[in-house]
Amino acid sequence: MTAPASANSSVLTHRYMYGLKGSVKNNIGFCDENVLAYPCGHCIVIHSIETKEQQFLQGIEGGASGGFTAMALTSNRKYIAIAEKGADNGLINIFDLTTFRRKKPLTYSDLGSDSYACHQLNDTLTDQT
């Protein structure tokens, strides 16, 4: 059975998110002088101090994530990596901070770990992907 055409098809979206998930390693970083990144709930908030605008990077959808465990910015502040605890394996997602798109997911099932405690990004490795 489908909903009638006149049914309201509104979608709930974030406008602002405040709060800081303290359990995340390296939980605050500056993307540039006036923009900071921090974990809040199951998102990474990219917050402009000047304009008060926010962008959001979503974690794994569908309940497969146990939450963020670590966050890191490249030294050129072009990419951000977010480590998440998984049901079977930990996962690190790399996002491009100019497009806010997920660039590359990294997972290593042979390690046998469900999470990552800390990571560091290398600018030359992320620029090649």
| Structural domain range at position 84 | 29-128
pTM surpassing 0.75? no
For residues 68 and 39, give the distance between their C-alpha atoms in angstroms, rounded to a whole number. 8
What's the rounded mean pLDDT across residues 100-119?
A: 70
Domain contains 81: yes
Residue 77 has pLDDT above 80, yes or no: yes
Domain contains 67: yes
Q: How confident is the model at residue 111 (pLDDT cuts 50, 70, 90)?
A: low
How many C-beta atoms lie closer than 10 Å to residue 46's C-beta?
A: 20
For residues 36 and 50, give the distance between their C-alpha atoms in angstroms, rounded to a whole number. 11
Q: Kindly report the backbone phi and psi dihedral angles of residue 51, in degrees, each rounded to the nearest multiple of 5, phi listed first.
A: -95, -10
For residues 49 and 25, give the distance between their C-alpha atoms in angstroms, rounded to a whole number. 22
Of residues 19 and 66, more confidence is placed in: 19
Domain contains 22: no
Domain count, the chain: 1
Domain contains 11: no
